[in-house]
Structure 1
Amino acid sequence: MSIYVAHRLFAAHDRALAAALAERLAKKVGSERVFLPFCDTDEEELVAEVKGRRLFELDRERLGRLDAMIAILHGPSLDDGVCMEIGYAAAIGVPVLLFTTDFQTYSLTKNGAPLDFPDPLIQAVARHTIRIPHLGPPSSSPQKGATHYAAFGARNLSQIDTALDTAVDAVLELPSPCPQPTPRRRDGLVYVEGSPYAAWGHDRLARLCLGAGHRLALPRRFAVADPIAEAIGDFTTACDAPRFLADVSGPETPPGTALLIGAALASGVRIAAFHPRPTYTHASGREPNQRNLMIQYAVHAYLADLEAVRAWLTL
């Protein structure tokens, strides 16, 4: 069994949590069957002419030969690279397990259906979610001289231990990968994802697509009573459309959009990202990336203005 551990990797505590999960998995299946990005791509020591692209290629190569994925997700601002990897795995039939200790649930309206994650797509494509939202129990025999801060820290570590053990047991019970049907290409169709961070929504991009003579598909999951069911419809449509146009405006690529970028890449869809005000990330030895290298190299074209969008639609 080959297992990919998808995780946010930019801070030491994120990497440490993922390493703890990978270590427990390795004890069950062997370290050669566990892939931990950053660690197993040797990111800090890796030397390549274009390092970010090489890291993307290494991760994508491993994504293509998996039996299962376990993704660590916490908080309302989900890592866009992890979401992209989830979408890629789901599109090729790899079962995905989600792991979180987040104590919040989310909804698309004030009294809407509760969701484990801010975008229903994340939950919709997963086979299983391990959610351990509560602190561990107080110690019955507190250490002499320990402050209440130490006791609080111990309860958090106990929560993490429970979540890790539960997740390891669950990922080993996931079904085998199931090959997905070949996408049904719908001639002339463009799937357009707007950004929740942009005031114009998807309207401007939609009008350009229609004006260029394309048929249009828009996400349906954000304004329905059953967002999970409609999320599956959005996923399928994005994988079937010959073109996928995503507005990635905002502090990070929106999680559902990032997931669909991964799914579209795995399905052979032509992907463009509308990004009128890009920001860049910088890391030692790596070329500047447009925020997340997994998104940067999954996308075939970055479009900085509406004229660039019009030109892409005529290609």
Structure 2
Amino acid sequence: MGVLKGICVSKKRGTKKMEVAEAMLVENYGIEGDAHAGNWHRQVSLLSLEKIEAFREKGAQVSFGDFGENLIIDGFDFRALPVGTIFTIGDAVLKMTQIGKECHTHCQIYQTMGDCIMPREGVFATVLKGGKIRKGDTVTMIPVSSDAPLTAAVITLSDKGAKGEREDKSGPVIVKMLKKVGYEIVESNILPDEQRLLEKELIRLADQRQVNLILTTGGTGFSERDRTPEATMAVATRLAPGIAEAIRAGSMKITKRAMLSRETSVIRNKTLIVNLPGSPKAVAESLELVIDQLDHGIKILLGRAGECARK
């Protein structure tokens, strides 16, 4: 159990957040009057009081809101909690959606101290249920349920698609198939065929959003711009080759050209990443070959299931 020690808001992006005594949390939006609220996954930012106090011990003169945080809470080490954790403050309910963030421009605190804790210690949440919150309110944590839906993200690799010159038809096919078997889709994005950009996106989704499954489509052929397997291997912490092997083996029964597909499948920490081909037809055929087995593998990865052999 924790205590809400501070509430901070800013009316304009890029300006310092100022402390207020109370605020209204609005469902699927954020804090009423805060510039960072909106229909996205980072509606409210949270920071542990202990992290601020530890930073002050280094000699920094910082006030609540200086790191860009909305809520300062005593009693939880947010960085150690998994995405999906629920917090209640009075009638309001928050769901943690991301850990840390990329710092695009160094703030004044970083320039003064050479460090800023928000990018690595801060977390973000969406508002599941609105309500008024006040300094001193009790904050209750509800751990992630063992039967919570698995989460997934879809990335389409296409230079023309990223420019808006071609409609993405493969990504929606994956989303539809995953939803049908119970996955919660947290993001579906289109990127150009740039290896470093894809690496960065895979790391963000796996580490900050802690997505259980990432499926990519496109960029697995012989073209010089096809770099999806290289990007996927670059971020892997372990290999899971059987999934890609099963896709190729099954696809060979449909077309001999399946041998030219270079898709791979790997694990990054607690996230499974699988490459799929680029065409909608091939995507559907490939995913159909393995979709029934993916959830069991992911649950083993998460410690929700045992590695029992089929009798």
**TM-score normalised by length of structure 2:** 0.31
Higher strand share: 2
Q: Could you say which structure has the greater relative contact order, defined with CA pairs below 8 angstroms and 6 or more residues apart?
A: 1
Return the index of the structure with the highest Cα Rg: 2
